[in-house]
């Protein structure tokens, strides 16, 4: 049995709370990084059409010798494919790139409220089709703000299983997390260590020293203590291992509160603001 706890989603599927993210891992480095993660014990991989490495993620999982059912795989719809027919074609491509006949979780990567006439509702209804036909076991969204989630709630039948949003000590994103908690939407925290940007914060380094762990382990443990799902990215074997060693300690309430108090609100955001982000990559 894995040391990583499972979180039960609103559709009764389960997801390992700790996974491995592959954003910004070059395709030629992906097989090695994912293979290393699987060797260490990660059983949840977070990729996206936009990352350009779905093929290599599938390759590494097959090469591991693990059963497909033992690894939770997430991918995401790229920004150029929100219109239903485009989404259907893009999802077919995702499955053929991965070399699997289903994904465990498929997400709308960004809401793009300023594109497509602001219509992410028809996109969501297309993901509902993928879930109905069994090719996406769970469906969810990413970078959705409360107003976007409210629109889905009033215009569609399925509550997203997850909302994957930027969360770390400098952007606690608690209003969106709280909305999710109240409505049965699990929060996945992306850039959980702010791509390294929070690791030399004096509050965090002090807590790390006190508990005898590294700053990255302290921050990842903080996320787990808040109940969020995380998937730190690294191409460095020692860090891939370090980021998995989170289950032999816990943070006291005072440490948890001190880290939460580092929140800088919008000033702490390192990625794009979902209300205005409108990037469409070159079509593949």
Ligand X SMILES: NC(=O)c1ccc[n+]([C@@H]2O[C@H](COP(=O)([O-])OP(=O)(O)OC[C@H]3O[C@@H](n4cnc5c(N)ncnc54)[C@H](OP(=O)(O)O)[C@@H]3O)[C@@H](O)[C@H]2O)c1
Closest CA to 150 of 187, 179, 186: 179
CA distance 1 to 21: 22
Residue number with CB closer to ligand X (37 or 95): 37
190 binds ligand X (CB under 6 A): yes
232 binds ligand X (CB under 6 A): yes
Closest CA to 7 of 162, 234, 166: 162
Contact indicator for 69, 61 with CB cutoff of 8 Å: no
242 binds ligand X (CB under 6 A): yes
Q: Which residue of 155, 236, 247, 249 would you call a contact of ligand X, by CB under 6 A? A: 236
Window contacting ligand X (CB under 6 A); options: 3-11, 18-26, 129-137, 249-257? 18-26
Q: In 10 A of CB 159, how many CB atoms?
A: 17
Residue number with CB closer to ligand X (65 or 104): 104
Residue 75 CB, nearest approach to ligand X (Å): 10
Residue number with CB closer to ligand X (265 or 272): 272
73-92 burial: b if 16+ Cβ within 10 Å, else e: bbbbbbbbbbeeebbeebbe
193 binds ligand X (CB under 6 A): yes
Name residues whose C-beta falls within 8 Å of residue 190's C-beta, 6 or more positions apart in sequence: 21, 142, 164, 165, 166, 167, 231, 271
Distances (CA, A) of 91 to 32, 86, 94: 25, 9, 5
Q: Which residue of 60, 191, 213, 246 would you call a contact of ligand X, by CB under 6 A? A: 191
Which candidate in 51, 116, 170, 179 is catalytic?
51
Residue 66 CB, nearest approach to ligand X (Å): 19
Residue number of the CB closest to ligand X reads 21
CA distance 112 to 226: 28
DSSP state of 163: E
Name residues whose C-beta falls within 8 Å of residue 252's C-beta, 6 or more positions apart in sequence: none
164 binds ligand X (CB under 6 A): yes
| Residue labelled with tokens 């299983």 | 161
Residue number with CB closer to ligand X (85 or 266): 266
Q: Which residue of 10, 13, 122, 195 would you call a contact of ligand X, by CB under 6 A? A: 195
Chain positions 54 to 93 lying near ligand X, rule: CB under 6 A, are none
What the block records as the tokens of 173 is: 């994103």
123 binds ligand X (CB under 6 A): no
Residue 203 CB, nearest approach to ligand X (Å): 17
Would residue 42 show up in a list of annotated catalytic residues for this protein?
no
216 binds ligand X (CB under 6 A): yes
Return residues touching ligand X (CB under 6 A).
Answer: 21-24, 46, 109, 142-143, 164, 190-196, 199, 216, 231-236, 239, 242-243, 271
Instruction: Supply the residues annotated as catalytic.
Output: 51
């Amino acid at each position: 049995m894995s040391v990583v706890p499972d979180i039960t989603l609103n559709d009764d599927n389960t997801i390992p709370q700790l996974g491995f993210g592959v954003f910004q891992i070059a395709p030629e480095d992906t097989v090695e990084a994912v293979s290393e993660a699987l060797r260490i014990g990660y059983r949840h991989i977070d990729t996206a059409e936009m990352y350009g490495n779905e093929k290599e993620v599938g390759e590494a999982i097959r090469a591991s010798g693990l059963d497909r059912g033992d690894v939770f795989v997430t991918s995401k719809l790229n920004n150029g494919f929100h219109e239903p027919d485009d989404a259907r074609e893009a999802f077919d491509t995702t499955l053929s790139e991965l070399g699997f006949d289903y994904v465990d979780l498929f997400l709308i990567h960004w809401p793009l409220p300023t594109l497509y006439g602001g219509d992410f509702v028809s996109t969501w209804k297309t993901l509902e089709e993928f879930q109905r036909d069994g090719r996406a076991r769970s469906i969810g969204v990413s970078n959705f703000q409360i107003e976007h989630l409210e629109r889905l709630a009033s215009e569609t039948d399925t509550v997203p299983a997850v909302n994957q949003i930027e969360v770390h000590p400098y952007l606690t994103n608690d209003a969106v997390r709280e909305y999710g908690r109240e409505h049965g939407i699990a929060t996945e925290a992306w850039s959980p260590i702010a791509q390294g940007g929070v690791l030399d914060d004096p509050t965090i380094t002090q807590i790390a020293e006190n508990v005898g762990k590294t700053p990255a382990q302290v921050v990842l443990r903080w996320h787990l203590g808040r109940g969020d799902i995380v998937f730190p990215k690294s191409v460095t074997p020692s860090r891939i291992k370090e980021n998995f060693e989170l289950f032999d300690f816990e943070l006291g309430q005072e440490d948890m509160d001190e880290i939460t108090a580092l929140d800088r609100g919008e000033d702490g955001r390192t990625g794009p603001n979902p209300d205005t982000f409108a990037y469409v990559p070159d079509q593949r």
